[in-house]
Amino acid sequence: MSAPTVLVTGASGMLGGAVATTLRDRGARVRAFQRRPAQIPGVEDVTGSLTEAADVRRAVQGADAVIHLAAKVSISGPEHEYRAINIDGTRHVVDALRAQGGGTLVNVSSPSVAHLGRAIEGLDATPADPARARGHYSRTKAAAELLAMGADGEDGLLVTTVRPHIVWGPGDTQLVGRIVDRARSGRLPLLDEGMALIDTTYVTNAAEAIVAAHDRIEDVHGESFVITNGEPRTVRDVFNGWCDAAGVRRPSLRIPGSVGRLAGRVVERIWEARPGHDEPPMTEFLAEQMSTAHWFDQRRTRDRLQWTPRVTMDEGNAHLAAWFREHPVTD
C-alpha cells in the first residue's frame, strides 16, 4: 500500500515547516504549497497563491489529505487582504477537495476566533464568532473556520479544526524575534505589570498535535480543538524567558492596560493613514492580548487527539537559548 499524499499549505512558515517535516519523517508523501518554495528536503514544492482557485486545485490534485495552515497573519493591513487569503483561500481548498471527490482536511485556526475581549480562563474550545472576534485576522479566521467546518460530512469530506495558541520556538522571527528586538531596544511594554496569565505552545508540540488530528480525523471530524502546552504563565514570565534565552535585557517599561488599549486604538488609526508596510508598534487587539488572561482546558484535546506535549516550557526555552548561541542577537 502506497504512503498517503498530504498537502501542507503554508509550509514555508515555522509551524508549517515543522508539520511537513513531522509527516515526512513518518513516511508520508508530503507536498508543500505556498508562494515561495519551502525547500524542505524530501518534500515536493508547489508554488502558487491561495487567492487563485486554479493554483489551489493544482496543488490539491491527487492529495489524500490537506493540512491548511497558510493565512495572512498580521496585526495590521486592509481587511480585503485578510478576506482574500483567509476566507477565500480556505474556500478554494474546500472546493478543490470537493472537485476531486473528497478527502480529509485539518483546518488550522486560532483561539482568537472565540476571543471577545474578555478573559478566557480554563475554557475548552468555544464557538468561532466572526461577528464579535477582535480584529481583521480573528474575524476572517473565524469565518474561515465556520466555512471549513460547514463542509464536514459533505461530498466525501471529513474536516476538523485545531487552534494552536501562541506558537513559538527556535528561529521564530514572527513572535520571538519581534519580542526580543523590542525588548533589546527598550520598546517592549508590560501592560498591567505583565501579570495576565496566558498559554503558549512550543512549535514541535503544536506540529505533533496537528498531525495527531490528521491521524484521528475519522474519530474527531466535526470538532474544534485548542492546542497549548498546558502550562499557563504570566506574560512577564513568558517574555522574560525569551529575553533570557536571547541574552537581552528583560522588559522594564510598565504601562496600565487601559492606556495600552487606548494607545493601540490611536496608533491603528495613524497606521491606516500613513504610507509604508511596517507593522504598528501596538494595536488595540495586541494590547488586549497582552493584558487579558487566556489559558485553556486541555483535557478534551489530549483525550480526543491522544496527544500530549513532549517539550515543556523550560525545555523549550533551553532549546531557544541554544539557538541564540548559534545565532546571537546583534545591533
Active site residues: 137
Distance, C-alpha 293 to centroid of its chain = 18
- d(CA 160, CA 56) in angstroms, rounded, equals 19
- d(CA 331, CA 208) in angstroms, rounded, equals 35
Separation in Å, CA 185 to CA 181, 215, 251, 287: 6, 44, 9, 19
Burial (Cβ within 10 Å: 0-12, 13-18, ≥19) of residue 64 = middle
Cell of 209: 498535535
Amino acid at 126: T
Cell of 30: 508530503
Helix then strand count (H, E) for the chain reads 13, 15
CA geometry: angle at 274 spanning 192 and 135, to 5°?
A: 50
Q: Give yes or no for a contact between 8 and 31, defined as CB atoms under 8 angstroms apart.
A: yes
CA neighbours closer than 13 Å in the CB half-sphere of residue 130:
16
Q: Give yes or no for a contact between 135 and 124, defined as CB atoms under 8 angstroms apart.
A: no
Q: What are phi and psi of 185, to 5 degrees?
A: -95, 5
* CA-based max dimension of the chain: 60
| DSSP at 3 | P
Q: How many CB atoms lie within 10 A of CB 254?
A: 12
